[in-house]
Amino acid sequence: MLQVLILCHGNICRSPLAEVLIEAAISADPLLTGRVVVSSAGTSDEHAGEGMHTNSAAILSARGLRSTHQARLFTPTMAATLDLVLAADQANLRNGRAIIRMADTQPEIRLLRDFDPTATGRDLDDPWGYPPAEYERTAAEISAAIPGLLAELRDRL
């Protein structure tokens, strides 16, 4: 079973949105269903225990997907259980690497947008504090990375 974690700053906007979108894509892929588990966390504990941002939740609800979530902090203990960590941006990639270095076993860590060959830039910008259209843009960027990610996951199995 492959364990994949999506990592952003507060774990209320980008990473839970990506978690659910990727989870839905995996459940639609017969080669990956039941063989890959996706979760998310943040490099900051400032939102720990909170639910998903309402704009991220609205996007998922409109697609008939799960919108329940509880933000949590990424820890070395958590890192030791993972195969792959996908960071939203360069800052969380750096912070994630620092956390992973403290783990007993160290998963691979990459940027989520690296799986989109057409991406302009490597960071998935944080929509927090911006209007709903920015959350839609974030969802579109996540969705564009999903085919490349699924191909990578299939290769790992």
Beta strands in 11-142 (DSSP E): 36-42, 84-87, 108-111
- Give me the catalytic one of 14, 89, 113, 116: 14
pLDDT digits (tens, 9 = 90+) for 71-126: 999 999 999 999 999 999 999 999 999 999 999 999 999 999 999 999 999 999 99
Split at pLDDT 50, 70, 90, the class of 38 is: very high
Catalytic member of 13, 72, 89, 126? 126
8 is catalytic: yes
Q: Quick: pLDDT tens for 43-74.
A: 999 999 999 999 999 999 999 999 999 999 99
| pLDDT average, residue stretch 33-40 | 98
In tens, the pLDDT along 123-134 reads 999 999 999 999
Residue 126 annotated among the catalytic residues of the structure: yes
Instruction: For residue 155, give Cα distances in angstroms to 5, 29, 30, 65, 81.
Output: 18, 13, 14, 26, 20
What is the pLDDT at residue 34?
Answer: 97
Mean pLDDT in the chain?
98
14 labelled catalytic: yes
Q: Which CATH number fits domain 2-156: 3.40.50.720, 3.40.50.2300, 1.10.150.650, 3.30.460.10?
A: 3.40.50.2300
Domain ranges of the chain: 2-156
